[in-house]
């Protein structure tokens, strides 16, 4: 699998349950989110735009993804807002489509355009490493099966680890009608049973 195939496999609607460990405080916070992923071809205008933001030739991209999310965390204050969208563009290395640059219009930890490094590891997990001025982010995504994706990430700042997050992301499958009933049933696949 290469990174573009990983994004294609990720396309769809997901529900994510996560736990964030705030390491300096020795406390954990839970949260959940709805995520929509759309795989984008190299010809998509959004890919061209994000490449131009980073001053990179759009012809070097193999495509990417558009991601939209709505989230909440247990410790949210009234004015906290965890909604947004972003575009990812993949710029693979010339001789290795399994690694290269990942361009974003907004980062995971800072709302600024950022470029990170990606690679697909020996277990077909997508690994992203993004360096910011004040922190570095490590993220690893992998599929337990076609409808269950797992994500682990760490945020390191000021010389030490600040947070570690573990997420279980369950694909939401279209409503269907069961044979026993004419009522629509929405299927959710997950380890946690929701």
Contact of 37 with 65, CB cutoff 8 Å: yes
Task: Count the alpha carbons within 13 Å of 129 in the hemisphere toward its beta carbon.
Answer: 6
38 confidence band (pLDDT: 50, 70, 90): very high
Rounded to whole angstroms, how far apart are CA atoms 99 and 125? 12
Read off the pLDDT of each residue in 168-187 and give the average, rounded to a whole number: 58
Beta-carbon contacts of residue 55 (< 8 Å; ≥ 6 apart): none
Closest CA to 138 of 106, 162, 111: 162
Q: Please determine, for residue 185, whether its predicted confidence score (pLDDT) is greater than 70.
A: no
**Domain ranges within the chain, ordered by starting residue:** 3-185
Contact of 3 with 126, CB cutoff 8 Å: yes
Residues 60-103 have pLDDT tens digits of 999 999 999 988 777 777 766 678 888 999 999 999 989 999 99
The overall pTM is greater than 0.85: no
H-type helices in the chain, by residue range? 3-10, 45-53
Rounded to whole angstroms, how far apart are CA atoms 24 and 159? 12
Q: Which CATH class is domain 3-185?
A: mainly beta
Average pLDDT, the chain: 85
Residues 89-138 have pLDDT tens digits of 999 999 998 999 999 986 555 567 889 999 999 999 999 999 888 889 99
């Amino acid at each position: 699998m290469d990174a573009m195939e990983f994004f294609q496999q990720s396309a769809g609607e997901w529900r994510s349950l996560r736990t964030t460990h705030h390491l300096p405080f020795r406390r954990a916070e839970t949260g959940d989110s709805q995520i929509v992923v759309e795989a984008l071809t190299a010809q998509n205008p959004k890919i061209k735009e994000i490449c131009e933001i980073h001053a990179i030739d759009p012809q070097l991209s193999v495509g990417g993804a558009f991601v939209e999310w709505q989230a909440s965390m247990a410790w949210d204050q009234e004015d906290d807002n965890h909604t947004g969208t972003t575009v990812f563009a993949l710029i693979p290395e010339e001789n290795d489509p399994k690694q290269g640059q990942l361009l974003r219009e907004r980062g995971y930890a800072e709302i600024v355009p950022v470029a990170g490094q990606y690679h697909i590891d020996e277990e077909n997990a997508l690994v992203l490493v993004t360096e910011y001025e004040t922190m570095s982010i490590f993220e690893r995504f992998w599929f337990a099966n076609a409808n269950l994706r797992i994500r682990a990430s760490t945020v390191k700042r000021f010389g030490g680890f600040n947070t570690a997050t573990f997420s279980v992301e369950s694909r939401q499958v279209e409503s269907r009608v069961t044979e026993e009933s004419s009522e629509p049933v929405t299927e959710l696949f997950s380890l946690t049973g929701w």
